[in-house]
Amino acid sequence: MTSLTPQTSRRVLVTLLIRPIRTIGARALGMLEFVGGVGYLLADTFLAIRRGLIAGRGRRMGWRSLWEQMVRVGVRSVPIVVLVLFCIGAILALQISPILKDYGAVARTGDIISIAVFRELGPLVAGVVLTGFAGASIAAELGTMVVSEEIEALEAEAISPVRFLVLPRVLATIVMMVCVSVIANLSCVWGGLVVSDYALGITPRQYLNHTFAAIKVRDFITGLIKAGVFGGLISSFACYLGLNVTGGAQCVGVATTRTVVLTSVAVIIVDLMFTSVFYMLKL
**What does the H/E/C string look like for 146-200?**
HHCCHHHHHHHCCCCHHHHHHHHHHHHHHHHHHHHHHHHHHHHHHHHHHHHHHHC
Cβ proximity of 247 and 147 under 8 Å: yes
Q: Please report the pLDDT score of residue 57 as a whole number.
A: 54
Confidence category of residue 1, pLDDT binned at 50, 70, 90: very low
Q: Please report the pLDDT score of residue 229 as a whole number.
A: 92
Average model confidence (pLDDT) across the chain: 83
Radius of gyration, CA atoms only, the chain: 24
Q: Which of 43-47, 154-158, 191-195, 264-268 has the lowest mean pLDDT?
A: 154-158
Sign of torsion, CA 242 244 247 251? Answer: negative
Per the model's pLDDT, the better-predicted residue between 94 and 248 turns out to be 94
DSSP code at position 246: -
- What value does the mean pLDDT take over residues 74-100? 89
Q: Which of 14-23, 67-76, 91-100, 156-165 has the lowest mean pLDDT?
A: 14-23
- Residue pLDDT, tens place only, 140-195: 888 888 888 888 887 777 777 888 888 888 888 999 999 999 999 999 999 999 98
Query: What's the burial of 147, exposed, middle or buried (CB within 10 Å: 0-12/13-18/19+)?
Result: middle
- Residue pLDDT, tens place only, 201-226: 888 888 888 888 888 888 888 889 99
Q: Please report the pLDDT score of residue 103 as a whole number.
A: 81
pTM: 0.84
- What value does the mean pLDDT take over residues 252-267? 88
Q: Please report the pLDDT score of residue 268 as a whole number.
A: 92
Flag whether pLDDT at 14 surpasses 80.
no
State which amino acid sits at residue 215: I
Flag whether pLDDT at 30 surpasses 70.
yes
Cβ proximity of 164 and 48 under 8 Å: no
- What value does the mean pLDDT take over residues 105-133? 87
